[in-house]
Structure 1
Amino acid sequence: MTADPVGGVVDLDKARSARTESADRATDTSPDSGPDRSADPSAGESDDSGPTMVDRPAPAQSGPGLIDRIRDSKRLDVLPAWVKSRPEFAGAMRWLAGHVGHTVAFHAVRVPFLYLPKLVWRSPRGLFNTLSRISRWAIDAEGEPLRQAEARRENSELYLKLSRQRDRRVRLRMILTVLTALFTLCMGLFLVFGAEPMTQVIAAVVTVLTLGWLGAPADAPLTTRAVIKTEVQKLTSDIVVKAMASIGIGQITTAVAKGQDGIKFVAPITREGPGWRADIDLPLGVTVADVADRRARLASGLRRPLGCVWPDADPSEHEGRLVLWVGDRDLSKTGIVKWQLASARKHDIFKKIPFGIDPRGRAQYVPMIQHNILIGSLPGQGKTASVRVLACGAAMDPSVELWLHENKGTGDLDALECTCHRFVSGIDDDSIKYAADSLKLLRQEVMRRAAAMKKLPRDLCPDKRITRQIADKRSLKLWPLVAVFDECQNLFAHPKYGKQAGDDAEFIIKLGRALGVVLILATQRPDKDSLPTGISGNVSIRFALRVAGQVENDMILGTSAYKNGVRATSFRPEIDAGNGYLAGATALPVVVRTAYLDDPATNAIAQRAYALRKAEGTLSGHALGDDPEAAAGPSYDLLADIAAIVPPSEERVWNERIAARLAELRPEVYGGWKGENVTSALKPHGIKTRDVAGTTDDGARTTRRGIVRADLTKAIAERDENRGAA
């Protein structure tokens, strides 16, 4: 308690309580804090609150830090892409060497027949020009116009100065001219009367050529151009903006009409290969497919041929990032694309097969292992030529078992017949039945391979799929098998064999790819009857040349391909033959101009492939003249026959003795065999020959090629086990 100023007594505890309650009422601002606030509408307060703000007035963090921005930034290549790509670099160097060679050859041919006669003809004119220039220099003729001008202006003082300067110049120059003339005369007399004949000839040639060079008119140069450059308009941002505004996309057209660009360039327009590249961000809501749908209009706006304009998406960016590439030359005018393996000795099918080039001139490849391939187009657009490239690539690997079925009957693939395990060419019922039987056999082969793959040890086959290491073990019989069915619509649409063939093909496509079985199907009629949906929906790699409409486009390239702007309908008949969309081999579908192999080139490749197979002992079936369907009479087991003639007590035996004993056992089969025949016959079974020490019939000790009987028994056991599993 204390006293107030007027003499009263104040209770301190009550005063503290009053202050606390007052503070609580001041801080409680909720609508329910008191009955008076909610009940009295005249207080000027309203129950309606303003809009809720969801954005912070000031962000807690303005953006990524410096390190994050640097880490997320895109680094430009130190070296151009063509320098880092070995094929592109080699191609550029070949082009440069060809360009230099052409230029040198062009001028070398014209030197004796055009350039030298020109120089001789112009040498008198050159002599006259030389004497005229010397005389004008000696008398200071170049200063005469200036002196005459000062005389006309009656500037006597300056005129006299110029005249005295001219007199001094002329005296000095005349002395030099006379001395030079005397020296030249002496040299001429020496060359005529005192020099060797060879020196005289050289001096005369040099003099004539020099005078001829000095006598060339300004408008008639001595040499002509070996190469005429094609002038192509440079791609600029103004040209691109105007072209994009003309293709009918509302957001871009409206922005350009308001004086804006409508699009945003995210990088400078640069050269890329034989053309220009522009990276563009499209307006919100506009996709690359919208631009690709208007490719013809875009080409018109750029004033370039349709085959030069290629709008693509950037797989590493958003759907509105457009990569516009404008080439210097129409893709259809590129000419014949040379196949990279045309001169190669062999190829590994576990590596990608060169297929062609894209519009930018970059090589495009197709992987074969673990894939199936579907090719489709209208007739005459290059479908069979594309099949031939892939078949030749497979044939160049001697470990590949090749089955070719050409159900058109024109013999387009006949050159490869010598390398095939199974082969047919025809459109008759027997040929169709042969192709259908092949699919049945392939289905059985897939089932056998699945059982064999399951039994392989995990260290040899950890991923349960065929590898190069597994394929090289011939005793496992898991080498790559490539089956080609050209004009497959004649097979799948056949009233008798078509349905079962379609079921077998679908089974093979779904299960065979991991087991080394590859199907290549080509059709010119892609519809649900001639190409079952179970097949078209499960193929991993697709190549569509020109097709008729949206349905055919999506049957080959996949559902919604047309909607997404991947349209093989845009290719022009005949003009764009060989051009198509390749999907599945790269991250995004890409336009490819396929390599072309004519009959002589295909035949040369087939002969090399045959020689490789013969050398490695991998020829089989049709290539050896065997006809599986017509096989009749008894068959013989080579391994069993060798086991019968080599007793268990003979652990090692020479191949030449095996050949002699086999000839005695079955002369109609093994007659004429020698040691090298035994080596080739045993190689497919995984039995390798080695140096074996032994005694000849004369009693001499020597070493010759032979086998170990334990290897023979092991190969027989593995073969019987695989047969039992199948």
Structure 2
Amino acid sequence: MDADLTTTPDTDTVTGPDTDRTSGPDMAAGTDTSPDTLDDLDADTGADMTSAGSRGRTGRDVPSVVPGWLRDREAVTGLVREKVHRTARLSVFHAVRVPLYWLRVAQWSPRGLARGTRAVYDWVTDTRSRAVLRSLAGLSSIGAQEGTAYRNVQEAWRERVRLRLIVSGVAGLVLSAAVAVGVMSATTQVRALVALVLVSVLGWAGRPDGAAPVVSAAGNAAGTPRLDTALIASALDALGIAALTRGLKEEGLTAVSPIHRDGPGWRVDLDLPRGVPAGDVIERRDRLAAGLRRPLACVWPDADPDAHEARLRLWVGDRPLSKAKPKPWPLAQRGAVDLFAPFPIGTDPRGRAVTLTLMFASMLVGAVPRMGKTFTLRLFLLAAALDVRAELHVYDLKGGADLRPLGTVAHRFRIGDDTEDLAYLAADIADVKADMTRRYKTIRSLPEKICPEGKVTPTLAAQKRFGLHPVVVAIDECQIGFEDPEYGKQIEADITDLVKRGPAVGIIVLLATQRPDAKSIPTGISANAVLRFCLKVMGHTANDLVLGTGAYKAGIRATMFARSDRGTGYLIGEGDEPAIVQTSYVDATTAKTVAARARAARLAAGTLTGYAADLDATPDVDDAPTLLDDLAAVMNPAEPKVWSEDLIARLVDLRPATYTGWTPADLGNNAAAYGIRTVQIGRRDSAGKVINRRGLALPDVLSAQRDRTTEHAQDVEPGSTESDQDKAA
């Protein structure tokens, strides 16, 4: 479909060839001010691109001298990166084809030599004058005056040819001598270079008229075609939506904002033709990506329900989201969490950090199998574990091992779906429900000065005497518990009550299922869960059960995600608008490290209770964690050697009262007590200079831990426990 985009400060309209409709004064004047390519960014209209698409059809943004994308550092760096990347690929594309280009030119060198020889001959013999003489000599009648002129021209021609013969002869001798001297004195490389240049010049001079271009077309060198208005219009026309195709021809496509830089990609906000909801385009994301000639993971259409149902926000990334370098979870190595405040869980398609606040809300997580549902739930639980006040009740009814690291910090913990497991779950949920009643009574009894709003606050949660600390109940594959013939009804009723009344008193329920249907997510739960996270699902029913009724119709469709979009889903309830989030990937090793750090912090705070407190997870003689435990908690296999200064910073973050004020010498001396020696560690700075400092190696720390465990086991006599020996002593 042929289409043009004309731009006004208010709206842009893509119109088909069969329509005369226009919009705005510029269109009436026939002026095309559209950004036909990626380079034609909107610098004249003054639109603030950071809020592009947020205005209504009748609204108007406050003019800005500098476009919003130019004030976005990430957008500018992304633009420069894209330009450099494109230029580099084009350069490499042509560089590897230079031999082919030379061969194409070299085949014309004989023709070029013939043309050069002919040109020299024509100059020396003055063929133009000779042609004039021949024309005069061919006249049938010639007078005396004309005869005199003929003789004069002939004499002048002879003198000119004689002079040119002398000049050409001398020049030929000089050139021959120079060539002979050059050939004898020059190196082989210089002679070869001169020959290449000479053949190239002769070949270029002998290029036939109408010959094919020497340089190959580099349209695919940059990987994808430029994103322009014509490409977007043709891609929408190719979606196979009859109403959209008809609307594009009759009324065109209105662009609320021009194509502009938005993070590591490009964005344009569009108003689709009347009667075409944005959801219809979103559902055909794969066809849209095919029309735009982009990988599926680069194209992210989104609806803007705050405007109207036909508003489409199209974001096209420079590289696929699934192939982009994942950003590490900021809490993987250090840091604590306050469940009353947002904590990071991942990034959106443009790479911006996305946060989540679990306090005062319950959450549903849904997806088809193998899309990252359990890993996502584990990420949220690891964050909750880093809040030492939080009491974790973790259940994996699937029976896998993904949630096993949480056992070292959980107050209640169970893996499996046997009868005893479900009985354990039912009893625990009943206890949490009873505790919810106690919490409401406690809040009612508190004076207004302490609890003015009648709800749990961070100050109240930190005071153990009130028992109002956060409680996080997480159940993976919750449908197994709800459908159990013996305990299912009780579990469903108690969980429903906790979802409805628990958040106000600090009880958080996280439910995950890979079978989102009415039985897996009862209505009482789905209607009261504030937070929703939906990875890939297969149909609109499952989509709305997880994200809420009407989400699919509004264009919020998790059905558009591909199998390569593991860990990517729609998050609803955290912000004003739904957000596409790629959750941070935390592998099993990192999960164990985070759980160990959380356990150490809970031991120090005295909040390790229940199941985790009964575990014999620490092999040391003393119950209190040692430097070895803390080093193992703050070090990671991904970084086996760490400078002493960095280790001290992590230790202070883990246990401030113990390690504040430590120096590298203190760390080295204390580590030496366990047989660990500091090693020299070299790193390169931003300038490429190697910096050497002393530090510790994780293998040495783990080896020292194993040695202490072996020594401790040998000290305990066979058949007796450590406590028995202590009593005997």
Residue in 1 aligned with 2:568? 579
Residue in 2 aligned with 1:616? 605
Identity rate, percent: 38
Residue in 1 aligned with 2:230? 238
Q: Which moved more, 1:496-505 or 1:308-317?
A: 308-317
Deviation of the 1:406 alpha carbon: 1.5
373, 382, 406: which one aligns with 2:396: 406
Structure possessing the higher relative contact order (Cα contacts under 8 Å, 6 or more residues apart): 2
Deviation of the 1:413 alpha carbon: 1.1
Matched residue SS, 1:454: helix
Distance 2:337 2:169 in 1: 85
Corresponding position: 1:254 with 2:254: no
Residue in 1 aligned with 2:363? 373
Corresponding position: 1:344 with 2:344: no
288, 291, 311: which one aligns with 2:281: 291
Matched residue SS, 1:290: helix
Contact map agreement 1:407 1:487 (CA 8 A) in 2: yes
Matched residue SS, 1:580: strand
Matched residue SS, 2:387: coil
Q: What pairs up with 1:489-638 in 2 under 5 angstroms?
A: 489-572=479-562, 574-625=563-614
Deviation of the 1:390 alpha carbon: 0.5
Distance 1:610 1:361 in 2: 31
CA shift digits 1:190-237 (9 cap, x unpaired): xxxxxxxxxxxxxxxxx9999999999999xxxxxxxx9852211111
Matched residue SS, 1:380: coil
Q: What pairs up with 1:434-513 in 2 under 5 angstroms?
A: 434-513=424-503
Give TM-score, length-normalised by structure 1: 0.57
Deviation of the 1:160 alpha carbon: 9.6
CA 580–541 in structure 1, closer or farther in 2 if over 3 Å, else same: same
Deviation of the 1:408 alpha carbon: 1.9
CA 455–169 in structure 1, closer or farther in 2 if over 3 Å, else same: farther
Residue in 2 aligned with 1:152? 125
CA shift digits 1:423-448 (9 cap, x unpaired): 11121111111111221121122222
Contact map agreement 2:224 2:294 (CA 8 A) in 1: no
Contact map agreement 2:247 2:274 (CA 8 A) in 1: no
The amino acid of 2:246's aligned partner reads: T
Distance 1:381 1:342 in 2: 22
Distance 2:162 2:468 in 1: 107
The amino acid of 1:288's aligned partner reads: A
Matched residue SS, 2:411: strand
Residue in 1 aligned with 2:387? 397
Q: What pairs up with 1:701-716 in 2 under 5 angstroms?
A: none
Give TM-score, length-normalised by structure 2: 0.57
CA 232–434 in structure 1, closer or farther in 2 if over 3 Å, else same: same
Matched residue SS, 1:331: coil
Distance 2:190 2:296 in 1: 52
The amino acid of 2:495's aligned partner reads: A
Distance 2:611 2:604 in 1: 17
Contact map agreement 1:358 1:364 (CA 8 A) in 2: yes
Distance 1:82 1:394 in 2: 36
Distance 2:537 2:414 in 1: 27
CA shift digits 1:4-52 (9 cap, x unpaired): xxxxxxxxxxxxxxxxxxxxxxxxxxxxxxxxxxxxxxxxxxxxxxxxx
Distance 1:510 1:82 in 2: 44
CA 146–214 in structure 1, closer or farther in 2 if over 3 Å, else same: closer
Distance 1:482 1:213 in 2: 75
Matched residue SS, 1:591: strand
Matched residue SS, 2:392: strand
CA RMSD for the aligned pairs? 4.7
286, 302, 314: which one aligns with 1:312: 302
Distance 1:89 1:304 in 2: 22
Residue in 2 aligned with 1:638? none
Distance 2:608 2:593 in 1: 18
- Stretches of structure 2 that go unaligned for 5 or more consecutive residues are 1-57, 90-115, 130-156, 176-186, 201-219, 627-656, 658-729
Distance 1:458 1:568 in 2: 45
Contact map agreement 1:377 1:544 (CA 8 A) in 2: yes
Q: Which moved more, 1:245-254 or 1:230-239?
A: 245-254
The amino acid of 2:310's aligned partner reads: G
Deviation of the 1:538 alpha carbon: 0.8
Deviation of the 1:72 alpha carbon: 5.2
Q: What pairs up with 1:91-106 in 2 under 5 angstroms?
A: none
Q: Which moved more, 1:350-359 or 1:442-451?
A: 350-359
Deviation of the 1:420 alpha carbon: 1.4
CA 566–321 in structure 1, closer or farther in 2 if over 3 Å, else same: closer
CA 147–462 in structure 1, closer or farther in 2 if over 3 Å, else same: farther
Deviation of the 1:389 alpha carbon: 0.8
Distance 1:586 1:593 in 2: 16
Highest CA radius of gyration, 1 or 2?
Answer: 1
Distance 1:536 1:70 in 2: 36
The amino acid of 1:238's aligned partner reads: A
CA shift digits 1:155-190 (9 cap, x unpaired): 8888899999999999xx9xxxxxxxxxxxxxxxxx
CA 150–241 in structure 1, closer or farther in 2 if over 3 Å, else same: same
Equivalenced residue count is 490
Q: Which moved more, 1:595-604 or 1:343-352?
A: 343-352
